[in-house]
Amino acid sequence: MNKTFLFDALREATDEEMEKDPSVFILGEDVGHYGGSYKVTKDLHIKYGDLRVLDTPIAENSFMGMAIGSAITGLRPIVEGMNMSFLLLAFNQIANNAGMLRYTSGGNFTIPLVIRGPGGVGRQLGAEHSQRLEAYFQAIPGLKIVACSTPYNAKGLLKSAIRDNNPVIFFEHVLLYNLKDELPHTEYLLPLNKVELVRAGKDITILTYSRMRHHVMEAVKDLIYYGYDPEVIDLISLKPIDIQSIKESLGKTNHLLIVEECMKTGGIAAEIIAQVNDQCFDLLDAPIVRLSSQDIPTPYNGNLEKATLIHPQQIIDSVRMLLT
C-alpha cells in the first residue's frame, strides 16, 4: 500500500486505461504540455503523444462535439473541463447529443464518454468558478453522474467510468485534489451506481457526497462524543440514485439528514427527498432535514463565501435536533 494524492490517483487511472486500451484518449484545455489545471494529466503527452493527449482551444462546445463524434466512431474520449463551470457552454452537446444519441439512433451508436474535471466551491474563486453543475445535469436522460470524494474511490470510479459504454459526468472537487490515501498495488474497479457506506450506525442516516463527506466526518467525531451513533453514506452515484441502499439504511435508523454543497432549490437533496417520500416514507420517524448551500451566486469575499456553505457545527445541531 502507498499513500497517493487524489490528483495522482486520477492520473494513475487514466494512464492505466490508456495503456490497456489504445482507443482511450484525452482532450481539453491545457491537458497536454501543461499537464492539466490540477496536474491530472501531467506528462501523459510524453508517453502517448499529442494526438492521444490533445490540447484544444478554449471552445467547450466545439471540443465536446468532437469528443462525442469520436465516441460514435469507436474511440473512448475523456474530456477534461478546466473548470466544470464552463461546461455550461457545451450544455447542448452534452444534453442533446451525448445523452440522447444512443436512444435516437435506435441503439446503433454507443457513447463511451467521460467528462471530468474540477468543480464545487473553492476558496474565493468567484461565482462563475464556483458552480455545482450536478443539479443542472441531473435531469438529462441518458447520463450517469458520479462524484468522487477520496483518492481510493476516485481511482476505482474513474477506471469504471472509462470502461462504461454510456456518457459519465465525473465530478471532482477543487479542494480535494491534495487529499492522500492508501491505494492497493493491484487493480480495482468500483461500481458507478452504488453508495459507499462510510460508517455504519443505528441512530440516523446521513447522506452526503464529494467534499461534504469530510465535513460530515468531522461532525461525526463530536456526535459520537455526545453519544450518538450516526450512519454515514457517501452517495457516489448522483444519477441514478441508489435508493435501495438508502432504503435499507432507513430501515435501521428511521431518520434522514442530507448534507450537500449543491444549492437547495432543485438540488440533489430535493431529488432524494422525492424518491424517499415515494418509496419509503413509512420508514421515517421524523421529517427529512437537508443542509444545502444558499441559493445565491457564491460571493468572492471569503467570509461571505463561507457563510453560504454548510459546516460541521450545523450538521451536529441538525442531528441533535432530529434525535431529541
Task: Name the grid cell of 261.
Answer: 454543497
Other C-beta atoms closer than 10 Å to the C-beta of 304 total: 13
- The Cα 133–Cα 90 span in angstroms is 12
Task: Name the grid cell of 322.
Answer: 432530529
Task: Name the grid cell of 49.
Answer: 503523444
One-letter amino acid for residue 294 of the chain: Q
129 is catalytic: yes
- The Cα 297–Cα 156 span in angstroms is 33
Question: Look-up: residue for cell 460541521?
Answer: 312
Exposed e or buried b per residue across 305-321, where buried means at least 16 C-beta atoms within 10 angstroms of its C-beta: beebbbebeebbebbee
- The Cα 172–Cα 83 span in angstroms is 10
60 is catalytic: yes
The answer to whether the beta carbons of residues 187 and 152 sit under 8 Å apart is no
Burial of 197 (0-12, 13-18, 19+ CB in 10 A): middle
Among the options 29, 80, 129, 271, which is catalytic? Answer: 129
One-letter amino acid for residue 194 of the chain: K
- The Cα 34–Cα 75 span in angstroms is 24
Among the options 29, 60, 80, 271, which is catalytic? Answer: 60
Exposed e or buried b per residue across 22-61, where buried means at least 16 C-beta atoms within 10 angstroms of its C-beta: eebbbbbbebbeebbbbebbeebbeebeeebbbbbeeebe
Annotated active-site positions, please?
60, 129
